[in-house]
């Protein structure tokens, strides 16, 4: 087969979508020497992807995501590659593409968080974009040969929302990123850290509304009242965008400037330093498709404090301590429980080492390849 993969999301700006696509291609190169692949890239991520398998070739598709140009130009670009099958790793399959394709639907967050606080667009543009989103994702789900999702919870949501036969959907779990497996966390160090860090918990990700960081700030406000917890800090590593700016204002409105530190993009060395000295990792999200950040924390031997939502329960099992994401008091209590008990932290780390090993990017690629072959 000649298979195309839309890889325009690869790179930092593509966040988790980019990581998923990059790991898929990286591992398909290791396991598939039979099929031929066209990898569609933009000029700004062309050199980021290294191809080592002679059956894989790059194709320039310098078209922005979520744009009118994507809908108009991408069908012709895909068609010119004479594909037997196209894999679009997100919902944005061009509406007028008529070739055979599989699509990965990572989540239905846009369905659940439709409020205008989740966008920077003016209300009219937001409504038009939302109409476009619903049309495109419905078309992708209905016309795809197969659908890939990262969790059983997302699969069930797709079946319920779009009335799709569940046999059409294949769950392929993702995994932690390899670079996080080499950390020795604070809780397990025999000697103190070489740098005198104040105790802190860590969050890495976007500041979108569904990430629920406002309630996390409310929880920290409660912790500052308790003298025993007054030394703990929160470090948020988020992209410097409009949501970052909104979050800064939320921090100021709660008088938490001395308790909460915001950092923008960090290179791998800087991020490694933070993971090595954090007391715990916190993931307060209201909705997720999978949950790579929590698995990264497990790989780095950090105790995981997580939102008690179906997807994260499915992925993390008993290797996290859970809180009600709508209850700042419960969030504060679970933070306090973990950071004040070396026994609880050590038990979580021990459980997490078994849990994180259940997931593998190569296994994900093998299962994806089976999906491709099932469309013949």
107: domain CATH number is 3.40.50.2000
pTM of the model: 0.89
Q: Give pLDDT, residue 239.
A: 85
pLDDT, one tens digit per residue, over 15-28 is 788 899 999 999 99
My answer on whether 166 and 201 are in the same domain is no
Q: Do 87 and 123 fall within a single domain?
A: yes
- The whole-number pLDDT of residue 292 equals 93
Exposed, middle or buried, 96 (CB in 10 Å: 0-12/13-18/19+)?
exposed
The total number of structural domains in the chain stands at 2
Q: Are 154 and 207 part of one and the same domain? A: no
213 shares its domain with 99 = no
Query: What residue ranges of the chain have pLDDT lower than 50?
Result: 116-118, 189-195
Closest CA to 345 of 183, 180, 179, 201: 201
Asked if residue 95 and residue 184 are part of one domain, the reply reads no
Q: 184 and 86, same structural domain?
A: no
**Tens digits of per-residue pLDDT, 232-255?**
899 999 988 888 899 999 999 999
Distances (CA, A) of 67 to 43, 71, 73, 128, 179: 17, 7, 10, 12, 33
Bridge partners, 41 (sequence order): 60
User: Which residues, other chains included, contact 353 with Cβ-Cβ below 8 Å and sequence gap of 6+?
Assistant: 298, 301
Q: Are residue 124 and residue 139 in the same domain, yes or no?
A: yes
Contact (CB, 8 A) for 308 and 324: yes
Can you give the pLDDT at residue 191? 42
- Shared domain check, 165 and 19: yes
The kind and range of the H/E element at 13 are: none
Average pLDDT, the chain: 90
**239 in the same domain as 160:** no
Question: Do residues 92 and 136 both lie within one domain?
Answer: yes
* CA 222/CA 332 separation, integer angstroms: 7
CA dihedral of residues 10, 8, 62, 40 (deg, nearest 10)? 110
Give the pLDDT score at 246.
93
Contact 9, 21 (CB under 8 A): yes
Does 201 lie in the same domain as 91?
no
Q: What is the pLDDT of residue 9?
A: 93
Domain that holds residue 49: 2-174+360-374
pLDDT for res 131: 72
Residue of 118, 94, 114, 92 lying closest to 105 (CA atoms): 92
Q: Are residues 182 and 168 in the same domain?
A: no
Given a contact cutoff of 8 angstroms between Cβ atoms, the answer to whether 359 and 173 are in contact is yes
């Amino acid at each position: 087969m000649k298979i195309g993969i839309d890889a325009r999301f690869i790179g930092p700006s593509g966040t988790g979508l980019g990581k998923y696509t990059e790991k898929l291609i990286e591992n398909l190169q290791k396991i598939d020497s039979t099929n031929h692949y066209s990898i569609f890239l933009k000029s700004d991520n062309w050199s980021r992807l290294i191809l080592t398998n002679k059956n894989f070739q790059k194709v320039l598709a310098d078209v922005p995501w979520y744009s009118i140009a994507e809908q108009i130009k991408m069908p012709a670009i895909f068609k010119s590659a004479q594909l037997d099958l196209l894999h679009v790793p997100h919902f944005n399959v061009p509406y007028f593409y008529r070739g055979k394709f599989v699509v990965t639907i990572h989540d239905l967050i846009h369905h659940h968080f439709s409020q205008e606080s989740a966008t920077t667009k003016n209300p009219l543009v937001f409504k038009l974009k939302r109409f476009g989103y619903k049309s495109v994702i419905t078309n992708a789900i209905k016309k795809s040969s197969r659908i890939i999702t990262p969790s059983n919870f997302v699969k069930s949501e797709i079946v319920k929302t779009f009335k799709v036969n569940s046999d059409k959907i294949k769950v392929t779990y993702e995994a932690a990123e390899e670079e996080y497996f080499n950390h020795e966390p604070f809780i397990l160090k025999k000697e103190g850290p070489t740098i005198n860090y104040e105790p802190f918990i860590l969050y890495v990700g976007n500041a979108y509304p569904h990430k629920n960081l406002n309630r996390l700030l409310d929880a920290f406000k409660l912790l500052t009242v308790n003298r025993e917890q007054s030394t703990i800090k929160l470090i948020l590593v988020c992209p410097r965008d409009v949501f970052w700016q909104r979050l800064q204002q939320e921090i100021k409105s709660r008088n938490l400037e001395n308790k909460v530190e915001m950092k923008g993009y960090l290179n791998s060395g800087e991020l490694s330093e933070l993971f090595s000295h954090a007391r715990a990792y916190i993931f307060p999200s209201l909705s997720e498709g999978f949950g790579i950040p929590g698995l990264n924390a497990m790989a780095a031997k950090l105790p995981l404090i997580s939102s008690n939502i179906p997807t994260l329960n499915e992925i993390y099992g008993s290797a996290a301590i859970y809180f009600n994401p709508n209850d700042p008091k419960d969030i504060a209590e679970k933070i306090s429980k973990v950071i004040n008990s070396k026994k609880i932290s050590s038990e979580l780390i021990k459980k997490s080492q078994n849990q994180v090993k259940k997931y593998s990017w190569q296994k994900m690629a093998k299962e994806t390849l089976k999906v491709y072959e099932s469309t013949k």
